Amino acid sequence: MTPALEGPVSVCIDRQSLSLDRPFTYILPSELQAGPGSLVKVPFRGRQIDGWILEATDDVPRRMLAVSAVASPIRFFDERTLGVFRWVSERYVASLASVISRSHPPRVVSEESGWMGVGRHGDTAPRGPTPTLLPRDAPSSGVIGGYRNGQALADAIATATGAFVHRPAPGEEAACAVEAVSLCLDAGRRAVVLVPEFDPLPSTARAVLDLAGNRGVLFAGGDKRARYRMWLDILAGHYDVVVGTRPAVFAPLDNVGLFWISRESHALHREERSPYYHVRDVALRRGQIEGACVVMSAFCPSAEAVVTGALEVASAGRTWPPVQVAAPGPEGRSPALMNALKTTKGAFLFEPMRGYGVARVCKSCREPASCAVCGGVLRQESGAISCAVCSAEGRCASCGGSTFGIARGGAERVEEWAAGVSGIPVREASGPPRAGQVTVGGATAVKDFEVAGLDLVAIVNADIAASRPGMSSAEHTLAVWMEAASWAGRDGRVIVHTRHAGGPSIQSLVSGNPSRFYRSELARREQAGFPVGHAVFKVTGTAALGSELTTVPALTLLTSRSGEETICLITLRPSDVAAFGRSARVLAERGVVARVEAEPHL
C-alpha cells in the first residue's frame, strides 16, 4: 500500500487550462490520511476546488495553504500511472488535469460508499477479497506460431516485453487475439484489448470475452453510474482481462502484461478532445513504464505504427484472396463484376458514396446545381434531394428550383443495378454481410464482423474513395479496402474498379501487403512537411502567435488568420515537443495561446 503523506505536497488542481498547468504546493495534515492519487479539496483563489495529490515535494514557497479535506476514498493513480499521465501531458501539450480527468469515468459519489480505505489495486477490499488469476493449461502458440516472427511474439507475451506490428491473415485476428491473451494469462499477467468501437460488439472483443468468462469485462458503453462502477471494480482487481474502447487504455488494471490494439489504424482510436491522445502511443508508453507487450494489429497498420520499428508479425505464406483489377464501366460496372454477380453465392459491394446520385444541373435555369443555403453539393438519397454539406432541402442557388439532372452513382444506384443481375437478394448494409445475399455499403459498413460464406468482394468506385482530401485519407481508405477484402477469404475473389491499376494503394491491395503503399506514403508526407513519426500541433491564439512561434525549432510552421484568431500549424521533431510545450504554457499564461490541438485532422 502506498503510505499516507504529510507536510508539503504537490497538487494538480482540477482546472484544465494550459495556463494553470503546473503543480501547486499545499500542506497536507497527517490526520487526513491522504497520499498520491487522492482527490482532495484545496483553497484556490478564494474558492474550494478539487485537486489530486501528486507527491511529496521540496518546492516549498514562503506561504502555503493547507489541504482542506479528502473528497474521495479512492486513490485515482499510483506512481507508475502518474508517469504515464505526465508523459501524455507532455507529448500532447495538454494540461495534466485534463489527462487525469479523461483517465476515468465521471465520478458517481454514491458508488464509492463501499470503499473503506485509501488503497489501490486491491489494497482495500470494497467488494470482497482480491481474486487470484484463473488457473490455466500450459501455454501454446498454435495460430501465432504459424506466422513469420510468431514465435518471437509468443515469447514476448510470455515475458511481457516488446512491441509488435501484427498483420493477421483473413479471418484470424480474433483467434490471434484470443491466443495472445491466453498466453498472457498463462504467464500470470493481465491483459487489455482495445477496440475502436463497441456497437455492434466486434468479433475480436466477443472472442476474447468468451475466453475470459467472468474474469473478463467489457469496459465500454453504459450509463454514467455503470461506467464508474465498472471502473471501480477494475481498480479493485476483480478482472484479469479488460476489453474496451479508447478510455480502456488507462484502465486501472494491475500487473498488465499485454496491450492488444485491434484495428490499430482505425480513426476512432484517437481521442477528439483534449488531450487528443492516440491509444497506440499511450499503450506503447504504458508498456514501457509498466512492463508489458504491445501488439498493434491491423490488415493495414498505420504509418505511425510502421515507423516505430516494432517487429512485424505476418503470415508466412499467401493467405490473401486473389484480387482482379478492372477498368470501371458505366456507373461503376464492369463485365468482370457483372459476370461475377450472376454466379455469386454471397457478396459485398463497397461503394463509398451514399444515395442514388449527385445533382449536376438545375432543370429550371440550366445552371450548375449547388445548394441555395451554403453552395454545397446536392445529393439524391431515399428519393429526396438535399445538400450533402448542410442537409438543407435541395434548392438551386441560382433560381431556387427543385428539379435537377442527376448523375447517377452511389450505394442506392449500385443496389438497383446489382439487383438486376444477381440471382440472390441485394440489400443495403445494416449488419454483417452473409451468404445468400449481396450487401452494398460504404466505409461505415466495414466493421470487425465474423463473416463467412462470401465468395466475392468488389471495390466499386476505388478512384473516388482514394481521391478524398486529407493527409491520412489514402491510408484510411486502404485500411477499409483491406478489411473489406479480407471477407472474401482465401477461397473467394476481389474485384477492384480503377483507372490507376499501378498505383501503390491498388498494388498493396492486390498483394495484401501495404509495404508498397508506405514506401510512397512516407516520402509524400515528408515532402509535404509532415513526416510520419513527428508531432503536429494546431495552435490557436492572438495576432502575436505567429511571431512568438518563430523561435520554436519547427520543421513546418504555417500561419493563417480566421477572424480575430491566428491559427498556426506546426510540425516538430519528437525531441523538441517538450520545449514547445513549455513555451506554449508560458504563452497561455500571457494570453497569447488559447488552444493547442495535437495531431489535428489535415
The answer to whether residues 226 and 261 touch, using CB atoms and an 8 Å cutoff, is: no
Strand bridging mode 216-219 / 241-244: parallel
User: Alpha carbon of 135 to those of 160, 212, 236: distances in Å?
Assistant: 18, 11, 20
Q: Tell me the H-state helices in 78-164.
A: 79-91, 96-102, 150-159
Check whether residue 158 and residue 275 sit in a common domain: yes
CA-CA distance, 600 to 588, in Å (whole number)? 19
Check whether residue 283 and residue 242 sit in a common domain: yes
- The residue from 492, 524, 556 where one domain ends is 524
The answer to whether residues 296 and 165 touch, using CB atoms and an 8 Å cutoff, is: yes
In degrees, to the nearest 5, what angle opens at C-alpha 172 toward C-alphas 326 and 473? Answer: 50
Residue 395 domain flag: no
Smallest CA-to-CA distance from 482 within 323, 275, 299 is with: 299
Strand bridging mode 147-148 / 293-297: unpaired
pLDDT, one tens digit per residue, over 150-205 is: 999 999 999 999 999 999 999 999 999 999 999 999 999 999 999 999 999 999 99
Residue 42 maps to which CATH number?
3.40.1440
Q: In the prediction, which pLDDT does 129 show?
A: 34
Q: In the prediction, which pLDDT does 468 show?
A: 77
CA-CA distance, 140 to 387, in Å (whole number)? 56
Q: In the prediction, which pLDDT does 489 show?
A: 81
Residue 301 domain flag: yes
Check whether residue 551 and residue 517 sit in a common domain: no
Residue with cell 507536510: 7
Domain membership of residue 60 as a residue range: 7-77
Check whether residue 498 and residue 588 sit in a common domain: no
Distance of CA 82 to the CA centre of its chain: 22
Check whether the bond before 29 is cis (ω within 30° of 0). Answer: no
Smallest CA-to-CA distance from 228 within 109, 354, 87, 387 is with: 109
Q: In the prediction, which pLDDT does 133 show?
A: 47
Q: In the prediction, which pLDDT does 132 show?
A: 43
The answer to whether residues 541 and 566 touch, using CB atoms and an 8 Å cutoff, is: yes
Q: In this structure, what DSSP letter does residue 549 have?
A: H
Residue with cell 474550494: 48
Check whether residue 69 and residue 175 sit in a common domain: no
Check whether residue 498 and residue 593 sit in a common domain: no
119-143: buried (b, 16+ CB within 10 Å) or exposed (e) per residue? bbbbbbebeeeeeeeeeeeeeebeb
Check whether residue 503 and residue 549 sit in a common domain: no
Check whether residue 592 and residue 469 sit in a common domain: no
Residue 217 domain flag: yes
Residue 130 domain flag: no
CA-CA distance, 456 to 291, in Å (whole number)? 43
Check whether residue 293 and residue 350 sit in a common domain: no
CA-CA distance, 195 to 204, in Å (whole number)? 8
Give the gyration radius of the chain's Cα atoms: 27
Give the pLDDT mean for 526-551.
Answer: 94
% pLDDT > 90, the chain: 86
Instruction: Name the maximum alpha-carbon separation found in the chain.
Output: 84
- Among the listed ranges 136-150, 295-309, 490-504, 558-572, which one has the minimum average pLDDT value? 136-150
pLDDT, one tens digit per residue, over 395-442 is: 999 999 999 999 999 999 999 999 999 999 999 998 899 999 999 999
Distance of CA 389 to the CA centre of its chain: 25
Q: In the prediction, which pLDDT does 239 show?
A: 97
Q: In this structure, what DSSP letter does residue 122 have?
A: T
Residue 384 domain flag: no
The answer to whether residues 45 and 5 touch, using CB atoms and an 8 Å cutoff, is: no
Q: What total of structural domains would you count in the chain?
A: 4
- The residue from 45, 77, 109 where one domain ends is 77
CA-CA distance, 304 to 31, in Å (whole number)? 49
Q: Say what the pTM is.
A: 0.92
Give the pLDDT mean for 128-145.
Answer: 54
The answer to whether residues 232 and 128 touch, using CB atoms and an 8 Å cutoff, is: no
Element (H, E) at 349: strand 347-350
Strands, E assignment, 107-167? 147-148, 163-167
The answer to whether residues 183 and 268 touch, using CB atoms and an 8 Å cutoff, is: no
pLDDT, one tens digit per residue, over 233-279 is: 999 999 999 999 999 999 999 999 999 999 999 999 999 999 999 99
Check whether residue 444 and residue 328 sit in a common domain: yes
Reduce the secondary structure of 382-417 to three states and give it as a string.
Answer: CCEEEECCCCCECCECCCCCCCEEEEECCHHHHHHH
Residue 490 domain flag: yes
Check whether residue 465 and residue 494 sit in a common domain: yes
332: confidence class by pLDDT, cuts 50, 70, 90: confident
Check whether residue 281 and residue 335 sit in a common domain: no
CA-CA distance, 206 to 209, in Å (whole number)? 5
Residue 529 domain flag: no
Q: In the prediction, which pLDDT does 290 show?
A: 93
**Cβ-Cβ contacts under 8 Å for 318 (sequence gap 6 or more):** 512
Residue with cell 448542410: 390
- The residue from 77, 101, 134 where one domain ends is 77
Sign of CA pseudo-dihedral 397, 398, 404, 405: negative
Phi, psi values for residue 391, rounded to 5°: 70, 10
Q: pLDDT averaged over the chain? A: 92
The answer to whether residues 508 and 515 touch, using CB atoms and an 8 Å cutoff, is: yes
Residue 118 domain flag: no
Give the pLDDT mean for 529-542.
Answer: 95
